[in-house]
């Protein structure tokens, strides 16, 4: 006797099918020309049925972005949980973010543009991702402070310094602007900034003021 799929499994399959079709339409037609009606037709359902799964086109597009970011976020948690020294983990984490964004930009530019636009608008999907990234970086800095590798007087200012110093390499819009720069060139710059951060964080002077120089 053939096994029947459960209602929950069917819902999940339909959900994923809608996401796949939406991403396919964005790649073929671009963000502006992709419509819920067109996706619904490709899925063989009414556009009202698509809205059962996603309340708006924006929500649908945000889920496409969230889907490919999940594996990166999982990888960052693995890095943060590792037994390596804090600075080594921070460097691995930064390179993981930079390389994942760059790879997506090169291999799937129209889907990456969704992420750039979501970040520019401070959309929930972008804010959630940034919060998760910041959490893992904070964990590493906190661990470094506990082991004596990092001098932290103000955890928030320390985190801001790291994010500001690395902005060019971990901000999606900045990465898109650097598309004409080769990977080796950018990764060499990442390595130089990481070396500088290592010195600054270990020295405890990351909360300096320019007038004190």
d(CA 187, CA 87): 17
Residue 83 phi/psi, 5-degree rounding, is: -90, 5
pLDDT digits (tens, 9 = 90+) for 78-90: 999 999 999 999 9
| Other C-beta atoms lying within 10 Å of the C-beta of residue 129 | 21
Burial class of residue 94, CB neighbours in 10 A (0-12, 13-18, 19+): buried
Whole-model pTM: value is 0.88
**Do 112 and 98 form a contact (C-beta atoms < 8 A)?**
no
pLDDT of residue 34: 95
d(CA 176, CA 113): 8
**Do 41 and 129 form a contact (C-beta atoms < 8 A)?**
no
pLDDT digits (tens, 9 = 90+) for 132-174: 999 999 999 988 888 877 777 777 888 899 999 999 999 999 9
Average pLDDT score over the chain: 89
Token pair 């060499």 is found at 188
pLDDT digits (tens, 9 = 90+) for 28-43: 999 999 999 999 999 9
Higher pLDDT, 58 or 11: 58
Q: Which domains does the chain have, with CATH numbers?
A: 7-55 (1.10.10.60), 59-212 (1.10.357.10)
pLDDT of residue 131: 97
């Amino acid at each position: 006797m053939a096994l029947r799929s459960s209602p929950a499994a069917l819902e999940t399959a339909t959900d994923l099918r809608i996401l796949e079709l939406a991403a396919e339409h964005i790649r073929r037609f671009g963000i502006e020309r992709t419509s819920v009606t067109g996706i619904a037709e490709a899925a063989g359902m009414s556009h009202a049925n698509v809205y059962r799964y996603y309340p708006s086109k924006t929500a649908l597009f945000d889920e496409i972005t969230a889907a490919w970011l999940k594996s990166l976020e999982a990888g960052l948690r693995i890095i943060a949980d590792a037994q390596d020294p804090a600075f080594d983990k921070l460097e691995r984490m930064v390179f993981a973010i930079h390389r994942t964004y760059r790879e997506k930009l090169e291999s799937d530019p129209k889907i990456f543009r969704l992420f750039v636009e979501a970040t520019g608008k401070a959309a929930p999907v972008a804010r959630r991702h940034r919060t998760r990234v910041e959490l893992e970086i904070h964990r590493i800095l906190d661990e470094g402070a506990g082991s004596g590798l990092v001098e932290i007087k103000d955890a928030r200012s320390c985190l801001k310094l790291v994010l500001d110093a690395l902005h060019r390499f971990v901000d999606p819009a900045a990465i898109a602007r650097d598309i004409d720069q080769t990977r080796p060139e950018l990764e060499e710059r990442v390595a130089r900034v990481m070396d500088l951060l290592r010195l600054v964080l270990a020295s405890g002077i990351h909360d300096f003021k320019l007038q004190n120089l």
